[in-house]
């Protein structure tokens, strides 16, 4: 588009950044002078490498994958929160499985090994007396992740830890039951999950563009929340499902959305502490080491 700054916004799967995709559709980023497009790099560690190398300048990633990479020297920083600030992941289980103990020996579908679901699943399974390594087989789906519900229906996995609207689609098709949300009190009630990140060179060279992308993300989120019927129609079209299913998914999680891009620093510290507890990073750290929050949108300005 003539006169607009072209930017690729990186995400780890087709289920992420739904409000960003909606914002692109309705023109909220054009209002910020941006020709924004979404690029998928399947898997958290794989996407982190793209941000670290500068192959992608800006985008969204789960905090475990991002923090792990930055702790190992990754050349990017957290600049804002995504809409899914809390741990918006849901455990969906095949309907013939009736208890956590019946999950022993079963297969859990995940985006990838080392991605957010693999870390969050550890917390959830341990709470129910299961050993995530010995009792459960984790199945990394990577490029097949968009088919996670189909794969369960085909018998390839027995359970999944995934995001909406996948769970509502599986529920509607009678394939699974939703047992738990990762943000419940028993698991990770105070947690900063999706973060927006940028390559350090991009931050230094194009701070105005960083700020514009974040303003566009905030504007898109508020537009989605304020136009739920339009947002539901968009999500339904994206996933090939009904608007009723899309609205069910929104009802489950929209009240937990962070619309203003503001990072929950205690929640980010929780993510960092969990990674250290489970051996993802070798030393304890402070969340502030991994952030550059100068470009978070001003909440006092109407989006």
Comparing C-alpha atoms, which of 298, 261, 279 is closest to residue 78? Answer: 261
- State which residues form the domain around 248: 5-86+191-290
- Split at pLDDT 50, 70, 90, the class of 14 is confident
Instruction: Judge if 228 and 268 occupy the same domain.
Output: yes
Instruction: Judge if 75 and 25 occupy the same domain.
Output: yes
Where is the domain boundary, 140, 157, 181? 181
pTM for the whole structure: 0.90
What pLDDT does residue 302 have? 85
Q: For 21-55, what is each residue's pLDDT tens digit? A: 999 999 999 999 999 999 999 888 899 999 999 99
Residue 286 CB burial class (10 angstroms; 0-12, 13-18, ≥19): exposed
DSSP letter at 146?
Answer: G
Instruction: Judge if 246 and 98 occupy the same domain.
Output: no
Instruction: Judge if 75 and 139 occupy the same domain.
Output: no
What CATH number is associated with residue 197?
Answer: 3.40.190.10
Where is the domain boundary, 161, 181, 201? 181
Where is the domain boundary, 143, 162, 181? 181
Measured distance CA(198)–CA(178) in Å, rounded: 34
Structure tokens at 45: 């560690």
Q: Do the domain assignments include residue 296?
A: no
Instruction: Judge if 94 and 172 occupy the same domain.
Output: yes
Q: For 50-89, what is each residue's pLDDT tens digit? A: 999 999 999 999 999 999 999 999 999 999 999 999 999 9
What pLDDT does residue 255 have? 87
Q: Do the domain assignments include residue 37?
A: yes
Instruction: Judge if 113 and 32 occupy the same domain.
Output: no
Instruction: Judge if 173 and 196 occupy the same domain.
Output: no
- With tokens 């910020």, the residue in question is 32
Measured distance CA(59)–CA(73) in Å, rounded: 18
Measured distance CA(140)–CA(131) in Å, rounded: 18
Q: For 110-152, what is each residue's pLDDT tens digit? A: 988 888 888 899 999 999 999 999 999 999 998 898 899 999 9
- Domain count for the chain, please give it: 2
Q: Do the domain assignments include residue 298?
A: no
Instruction: Judge if 60 and 206 occupy the same domain.
Output: yes
Q: Do the domain assignments include residue 297?
A: no
- With tokens 């103990």, the residue in question is 101
Q: For 220-256, what is each residue's pLDDT tens digit? A: 999 999 999 999 999 999 999 999 999 999 999 888 8
Q: Do the domain assignments include residue 228?
A: yes
Q: Do the domain assignments include residue 26?
A: yes
Structure tokens at 238: 């994206």
Instruction: Judge if 210 and 257 occupy the same domain.
Output: yes
Q: Do the domain assignments include residue 226?
A: yes
The CA-atom distances, in angstroms, between 156 and each of 19, 137, 143, 148, 176 are: 30, 12, 15, 9, 13
Give the largest CA-CA distance in the chain: 59
Instruction: Judge if 9 and 79 occupy the same domain.
Output: yes
What pLDDT does residue 281 have? 85
Instruction: Judge if 17 and 74 occupy the same domain.
Output: yes
- Tell me the percentage of the chain whose pLDDT exceeds 70: 99
CB 79, CB 263: distance < 8 Å? no
- Split at pLDDT 50, 70, 90, the class of 1 is low
For residue 95, give every residue at least 6 positions away whose Cβ sits within 8 Å of its Cβ, in sequence order, or none. Answer: 174, 175, 176, 177
Q: Do the domain assignments include residue 302?
A: no
């Amino acid at each position: 588009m003539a006169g607009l700054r072209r930017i690729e916004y990186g995400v780890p799967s087709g289920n992420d950044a739904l409000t960003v995709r909606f914002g692109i559709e309705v023109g909220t980023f054009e209002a910020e002078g941006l020709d924004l497009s979404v690029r998928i790099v399947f898997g958290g560690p794989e996407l982190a490498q793209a941000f670290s190398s500068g192959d992608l300048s800006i985008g969204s990633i789960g905090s475990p994958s991002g923090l792990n990479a930055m702790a190992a020297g990754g050349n990017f920083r957290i600049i804002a929160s995504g809409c899914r600030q809390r741990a918006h992941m849901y455990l969906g289980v095949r309907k013939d499985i009736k208890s956590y103990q019946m999950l022993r020996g079963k297969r859990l579908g995940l985006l990838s090994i080392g991605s957010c679901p693999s870390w969050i699943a550890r917390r959830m399974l341990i709470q129910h007396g299961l050993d995530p390594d010995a009792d459960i087989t984790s199945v990394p789906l990577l490029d097949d992740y968009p088919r996670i519900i189909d794969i369960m229906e085909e018998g390839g996995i027995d359970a999944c830890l995934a995001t909406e609207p996948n769970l509502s689609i599986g529920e509607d098709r009678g394939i699974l039951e939703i047992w738990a949300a990762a943000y419940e009190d028993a698991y990770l009630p105070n947690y900063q999950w999706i973060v927006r990140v940028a390559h350090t060179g991009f931050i230094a060279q194009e701070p105005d563009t960083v700020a514009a992308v974040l303003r566009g993300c905030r504007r898109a989120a508020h537009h989605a929340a304020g136009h739920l019927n339009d947002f539901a129609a968009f999500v339904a079209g994206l996933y090939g499902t009904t608007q009723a299913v899309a609205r069910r998914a929104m009802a489950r999680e929209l009240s937990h959305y962070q619309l203003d891009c503001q990072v929950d620093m205690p929640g980010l510290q929780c993510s960092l502490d969990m990674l250290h507890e489970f051996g993802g990073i070798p030393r304890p750290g402070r969340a502030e080491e991994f952030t550059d929050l100068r470009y978070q949108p001003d909440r006092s300005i109407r989006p």
